[in-house]
Amino acid sequence: MAHAKQVPVGIIGAGRIGRVHAEHLAFRIPQARLVAIADVSRDAAQACATANQVDAVYQDYHAILADDAVVAVVICSSTQSHAAIIAEAAAAGKHIFCEKPIDIDLASVDEALAAVRTAGVKLQVGFNRRFDPNFSRIHEAVSCGEIGEPHLLHIISRDPAPPPMNYLRDSGGLFLDMTIHDFDMARYLIGSEVKSVFAVGAVRIDPRIARAGDVDTAVITLEFDSGVLGTIENSRQAVYGYDQRVEVFGSKGMIHSENMTSQRTILSNGKGVHSASALNFFVARYAESYLAEMRAFLACIQEDTDPPVGVTGRPRRRSRPRV
């Protein structure tokens, strides 16, 4: 029994993040109805469909684009396919949620955006961390002037462990693979574009990463148009867990976030005072943000507003300025 106003959605790509979105669309977001799943692996598509009580299962995503009943698609396929699928989906008149990045080639991104604009559909990009309750609270404090004019930004973004070497070799490198989220966060929190970047990297964790031509540890300095100075710290391996913190310092105060934990007990014994490690890894740490970004995407379809991070083909009314 379906809701009158539910938006029929298809998912393209049933890998790890695709399955997260599938469960949310199937069970957690009443405004959506998950109606179709496609994956180049028929088995992956079927497993995801079974788990989420979806009947339409395809190997070729074009079947989803061809289905007039589908109003929106969620693109979770491999990065190099994003731009092309966006263009096709836009041409088919579907609203689009696409995992980041759209592409690593700017021209391809521009083509995809042009297709979206021409088609007059909505495109939201999966920068989910903007929807984390910590970072959206910091964004609010900065944009409402609670800390005055921002002066300094510091982002700590450390993964618990390096990915497998074969993933890492195709990842595009630490700056594209990890820092991309932090670059987006920096722009989101400060509300200004970056005018200069200085980066130093090192291999501190695994010499194979050096042999792959990458670094595993990095510090990036940003200068923003607005005059704010920022730093980002990345590491591929924080043995104590997934370390995701942000601090913004301004003329009237400072706001920073601590890591989230599954519980807040504190054990005191003869060796000291002990509390819980950070949530580990992103599926747990950013669970709420994945749900919130998808809710926001559905809301912008139903209310015909702009996606909070992305573009709209023919914007009619805006809920708020895009960041």
- Nearest approach, Cβ of 257 to its own copies (angstroms)? 5
For residue 282, give the nearest of 25, 15, 16, 12 by alpha carbon: 16
Ranges within 278-307 binding its own copies (CB under 8 A): 278
Measured from the CB of residue 307, what is the shortest distance to its own copies in angstroms? Answer: 23
Smallest distance, its own copies to C-beta of residue 220, A: 9
List the structure tokens of 33: 């109805």
Axis crossing angle, helix 16-23 with helix 42-51, rounded to the nearest 10: 30
Shortest distance in whole angstroms from residue 312 CB to its own copies: 29
- Give the nearer residue to its own copies in terms of CB position, either 109 or 203: 203
Question: Looking at beta carbons only, is 88 or 233 nearer to its own copies?
Answer: 233
DSSP secondary structure string for all residues of 35-78: EEEE-SSHHHHHHHHHHTT--EEESSTHHHHH-TT--EEEE-S-
206 binds its own copies (CB under 8 A): no
Q: How many residues bind its own copies (CB under 8 A)?
A: 78
Measured from the CB atom, is 88 or 288 closer to its own copies? Answer: 288
- Residue ranges of alpha helices (H) inside 120-234 are 133-143, 165-169, 174-177, 179-190, 207-211
210 binds its own copies (CB under 8 A): no
Q: Is the CB of 211 or the CB of 252 nearer to its own copies?
A: 252
Residues 218-277 that bind its own copies (CB under 8 A): 218-219, 221, 223, 227, 229-231, 233, 235, 237-241, 243, 249, 251-260, 262-277
Q: Would you tell me how many other CB atoms lie within 10 Å of the CB of residue 317?
A: 8
Pick from 77, 124, 217, 312: which binds its own copies (CB under 8 A)? 217
Asked whether the beta carbons of 112 and 103 are under 8 A apart, the reply is: yes
Q: At what angle do helices 106-119 and 82-91 cross, to 10 degrees?
A: 10
Of 19 and 122, nearer to its own copies (C-beta) is 19
Q: Which two tokens stand for residue 37?
A: 């799943």
Q: Which is nearer to its own copies, 243 or 293 (CB)?
A: 243
> In the complex with its own copies, which residue's Cβ is closer, 71 or 189?
189
Minimum gap (Å) between residue 81 Cβ and its own copies: 28
Determine which residue in the list 198, 225, 283, 322 makes contact with its own copies, applying CB under 8 A.
198
Give least dist CB 107 to its own copies, A. 31
Closest CB 287 distance from its own copies, rounded Å: 11
Nearer to its own copies, 259 or 305 (CB): 259
Beta-strand relationship, 122-125 and 150-158: unpaired
* β-pairing verdict for 217-224 and 229-235: antiparallel
The upper half-sphere exposure of residue 172, i.e. CA atoms within 13 Å in the direction of its Cβ, equals 13
What residues from 5 to 64 belong to the interface with its own copies (CB under 8 A)?
A: 26-28, 30, 50-51, 53-55
Q: Interface with its own copies includes 152 (CB under 8 A)?
A: yes
For residue 242, count CB atoms less than 10 angstroms from its CB and return exposed for 0-12, middle for 13-18, buried for 19 or more. Answer: buried
